Amino acid sequence: MKKNNVYSLYLKLMKKYGRVGKWWPEWCCLKKSLNLRQEIALGAILTQQTNWHNVEKALNNLKKAKLLSIEKIGRLKNLAKLENLIKPSGFYRIKAKRLYTFCSFIVKQYGSFKKLMKQDLIILRPQLLTIYGIGPETADSILLYALDKPTFVIDEYTKRLVKQKKLAKKLSYDYLKKLFEKNLPVNVKLYQDFHALIVVDQKKK
DNA sequence: ACCCAGGTGGCCC
DNA sequence: GGGCCACATGGG
Shared domain check, A81 and A65: yes
C1'-nearest nucleotide to the CA of A175: C1
Residue A133 to residue A26: CA distance in whole angstroms: 25
Shared domain check, A49 and A124: yes
Residue A14 to residue A119: CA distance in whole angstroms: 31
pTM tops 0.95, yes or no: yes
Shared domain check, A137 and A48: yes
Shared domain check, A94 and A21: no
Total of domains in chain A: 2
Separation in Å: B8 C1' and A1 CA: 41
Query: Domain range spanning residue A159?
Result: 5-26+154-203
Which residue lies nearest C9, CA-to-C1' measured? A90
Residue A3: which pLDDT band, with cuts at 50, 70 and 90? low
pLDDT tens track for A113-148 = 999 999 999 999 999 999 999 999 999 999 999 999
Separation in Å: B7 C1' and A156 CA: 10
pLDDT mean over A1-13: 84
Give protein residues whose Cβ lies within 7 A of nucleic acid chain C. A 49-51, 53-54, 57, 87-95, 170, 172
Contact A152, A195 (CB under 8 A): yes
Residue A142's CATH number: 1.10.340.30
Point out the domain boundary residue: A128, A146, A164: A146
| Confidence at residue A1, expressed as pLDDT on a 0 to 100 scale | 41
Shared domain check, A39 and A22: no
Separation in Å: B1 C1' and A84 CA: 27
Shared domain check, A127 and A42: yes
